[in-house]
Structure 1
């Protein structure tokens, strides 16, 4: 399944909007990780234990959103976004959401894609 943060899929037309899809997960910190993170907080630097925890939570929320979209018969999810909320001390929710859509066949474009000369990494039609 294709998932994108844009409101379109390059080379395809959206033929049907199936609706909002979402996937959420609530994760709590582990006391062992809290001890290590507390020590790391004293000396500074990245708290790898929390970075890993949040990365896993994001992937799980994306998987749940994808399952929701598949249950609706979607080909893609456009406008994918994340939001985070602290629920209690030590627990946070990660929510992934977007719009489930059906895609048509490939659309031939009369304008070629070309990398932007501005160096911003964007690809645009010229």
Structure 2
């Protein structure tokens, strides 16, 4: 488990930003699996959650976040604040998941 604090807000209660290290990001590009497409097609007919895609996107978000954390560690940060996620289509059947935020050094107040 990482000791890097990840937050989608700018201010962490009980902490203060002692150093601003700049933008950090991590991304991954994932392609759909043909078998999952077939199952998704059936779900479109009968309804329900597309579990294969839910799992794929969850894994992609985690991988992008892990890469952002590694970049934060490499520049000496102990937190990433104001974290956001973005998704974009790269080509038919492939999408990028991007995690980004501001690397900082936090200290107790």
Calculate the TM-score normalised by the size of structure 1: 0.82
**Cα shift readout 1:100-122 (whole Å, capped 9, x = no counterpart):** 00112x22xxxxxxxxxxxxxxx
* Pairs within 5 Å for 1:93-112: 93-104=96-107, 106-107=108-109
Match of 1:31 in 2: 34
Q: What CA distance in whole angstroms lies between the structure 2 residues aligned with 1:89 and 1:44?
A: 23
Instruction: Say whether 1:2 aligns with 2:5.
Output: yes
Match of 1:21 in 2: 24
Structure ranking higher on relative contact order (CA contacts 8 Å, 6+ apart): 2
Calculate the TM-score normalised by the size of structure 2: 0.94
Match of 1:55 in 2: 58
What RMSD in Å do the two structures reach over aligned CA positions? 0.7
**Cα shift readout 1:85-106 (whole Å, capped 9, x = no counterpart):** 01111110000000000112x2
Structure 1 portions without partners, runs of 5+: 108-126
Match of 1:80 in 2: 83
- SS of match in other structure, 1:86: strand
